[in-house]
Structure 1
Amino acid sequence: MERIEHHASFGGWQDVYRHRSEVLDCDMEVGVYFPPQADPGHPDHGPCPVLYWLSGLTCSAQNFITKAGAQRHAAEHGLILVAPDTSPRGDAVADAEGYDLGQGAGFYVNATQAPWDAHYRMYDYIVDELPAWVEADPVASGARAISGHSMGGHGALVIALRNPGRYRSVSAFSPIVAPSRVPWGEKAFGAYLGADRDAWAAYDAVALVAGAEERLPLLVDQGGDDEFLSGQLKPELLQAACDAAGHPLTLRLQPGYDHSYYFIASFIGEHIAHHARALRRKA
């Protein structure tokens, strides 16, 4: 484990680490924000809950840690923020033309098709390998939540729905809620998972809601002026699935906001407060 960045931020530290991932068979970079409460000298020092953030297409850890303004809110609530990359990286890792497949576009699935299956196991990386490293630090309390944006919002919803009891809360900005039914998801799933659409359902939030074993409330914010709203995101499909299943969903359409980090920065404080309330409750 190598720390490659270290910056003071709102009384805490924004670090970036490089580590070898056995699951992905490549080196990965991950941003970790430690709030001031993680410092042994802080009057409120103690184990801190962890919020995992999954970013969207074309992003790395840098987008969230430099643009979202999340550190101020994490410092206020005493949360560790973990922002991994969006795919495996490196010269030996398969890639493709375009922004929506290959490096930068891992879609948080375990690929089953060549050449992607050699490295693209982002689901296992996020669910198992990354938390095993982060939460081995005694400053982490073991309570965790998950959130994300666009492709990462898809990942956050799917991972929370598939792992009952693992996360105290989940939220998403502009998530791809039904990747099996929109161009971004059809392209990625066809490549990573093959032609069998039944296999796609395991990574489709709308499909998973009906059989969810835990009624973990979903918080979703969507920009009303998002250029991808009708063609790629389709939040109404998640609303209909939750209504049919009786699954708790707070879906907020925010007028005037687009798909950018200006939108995320405007509401990230509310999301972090939402997670902090859940994370501080006793299990």
Structure 2
Amino acid sequence: MKTLSENRCFGGTQGVYSHTSDATGTQMTFGLFKPEHATGAVLWYLSGLTCTHENAMTKAGLQGWAANAGLSLVFPDTSPRGESVPDDDDYAMGQGAGFYVDASQGEWARHFQMESYITKDLPEVVFTAFDLDDTRQGITGHSMGGHGALTLALKEPTRYRSVSALAPICNPSASDWGTPQLTAYTGRPASHDATVLLTDGAHLPPALIDTGTSDQFYDKLGTAAFAAALAETKSEATLNLRRGYDHSYFFVSTFAPDHVAFHAEHLA
């Protein structure tokens, strides 16, 4: 692992690091905020389409709230990158749009192994390099990252004690923010759909979901279908429809304190 930068932040340290990933076969970059009085608990933040590790790190304002709670934050990238890595003219496909799945189809299969990267490869690096507690992990994310947080929590029920999502894509097999991409990557969109996974019996840890009623992409998110699945399965989850809020980072930063507090409670 190579240190790219480290800066004082809310009494702790906001670092940016790179490493060679066995999962993606590329160099990957991630951010990690460690508060001054870290409890050892870790919250993974997954960003949305077109983002890098840097977006939430600089826009969401999570570090101040995490410092108060003693939570360390990890900000992974959203896909592998590099000249040898496949890409697409569609912003919702290719670099910056890994959808947090392991690709098995065509040219994508070589590098786009983001599920393995987030759940195996990067944790091994993080828990080796930093004094953190791998038994106290939560996961959150925005938009495509919310999709990733929900699906990875459903697939890895013993890894994460808590999950939250802001404006998540939560029914991608019924949306053009999911069906084309997950078909191209895996051939099986429904296998990576939080609504389908939940309905089919996967266990969701304690969950908090916030979505704005004025979200310009609301029709792509599948919020109503996911709400119905939560009700049907009697899951331990709170879903809030926030009146007048859109899809931007202003929405994320507004409700970041609620999400950090939620995870701090479950990771104590």
- TM-score, scaled to structure 2: 0.97
- 1:260-283 superposed Cα distances (whole Å, 9 cap, x missing partner): 100000010110000000000xxx
Q: Secondary structure at the match of 1:180?
A: helix
Q: Secondary structure at the match of 1:225?
A: coil
Matched, 1:233 2:208: no
Report deviation, 1:138.
5.2
- Counterpart in the other structure of 2:192: 203
Aligned counterparts of 2:202 and 2:13: Cα–Cα separation in 1: 37
Map 1:20-99 onto structure 2 (within 5 A). 20-38=20-38, 47-99=39-91
- Counterpart in the other structure of 1:147: 140
In the superposition, relative to structure 1, how do residues 190 and 78 fare at CA in structure 2: closer, same or farther (>3 Å)? same
Map 1:130-209 onto structure 2 (within 5 A). 130-137=122-129, 139-142=131-134, 143-194=136-187, 199-209=188-198
Aligned counterparts of 2:236 and 2:255: Cα–Cα separation in 1: 20
Aligned counterparts of 1:182 and 1:139: Cα–Cα separation in 2: 40
In the superposition, relative to structure 1, how do residues 215 and 121 fare at CA in structure 2: closer, same or farther (>3 Å)? closer
Give the AA of the match of 1:22. D
Aligned counterparts of 2:70 and 2:85: Cα–Cα separation in 1: 36
Indicate the percent of aligned positions where both proteins have the same amino acid: 45
Does the Cα contact within 8 Å between 1:180 and 1:186 map onto a contact in 2? yes
Report deviation, 1:158.
0.2
- 1:98-148 superposed Cα distances (whole Å, 9 cap, x missing partner): 210000000001111110001001000001111111122452022100000
Does the Cα contact within 8 Å between 1:24 and 1:125 map onto a contact in 2? yes
Does the Cα contact within 8 Å between 2:179 and 2:189 map onto a contact in 1? no
Aligned counterparts of 2:127 and 2:6: Cα–Cα separation in 1: 19
- Counterpart in the other structure of 1:42: none
Aligned counterparts of 1:156 and 1:215: Cα–Cα separation in 2: 11
Aligned counterparts of 2:25 and 2:174: Cα–Cα separation in 1: 31
- For residue 253 of structure 1, the aligned residue among 226, 238, 241 is 241
- Counterpart in the other structure of 1:108: 100
In the superposition, relative to structure 1, how do residues 136 and 270 fare at CA in structure 2: closer, same or farther (>3 Å)? same
Gaps of at least 5 residues in structure 1 are: 39-46
Matched, 1:4 2:4: yes
Matched, 1:243 2:203: no
Report deviation, 1:234.
2.1
Report deviation, 1:213.
4.6
Does the Cα contact within 8 Å between 1:37 and 1:48 map onto a contact in 2? no
Give the AA of the match of 2:235. H
- TM-score, scaled to structure 1: 0.92
- 1:25-65 superposed Cα distances (whole Å, 9 cap, x missing partner): 00011000010114xxxxxxxx5100000000000011000
- 1:180-216 superposed Cα distances (whole Å, 9 cap, x missing partner): 000010110121113xxxx322210000112345342
Does the Cα contact within 8 Å between 2:24 and 2:114 map onto a contact in 1? yes
Aligned pair count reads: 267
Report deviation, 1:248.
2.4
Q: Secondary structure at the match of 1:124?
A: helix
Map 1:121-132 onto structure 2 (within 5 A). 121-132=113-124
- Counterpart in the other structure of 1:44: none
Q: Secondary structure at the match of 1:31?
A: strand
Gaps of at least 5 residues in structure 2 are: none
- Counterpart in the other structure of 1:15: 15
Q: Secondary structure at the match of 2:267?
A: helix
Does the Cα contact within 8 Å between 2:42 and 2:132 map onto a contact in 1? yes
Matched, 1:118 2:118: no
Q: Secondary structure at the match of 1:133?
A: helix
Does the Cα contact within 8 Å between 1:165 and 1:214 map onto a contact in 2? no
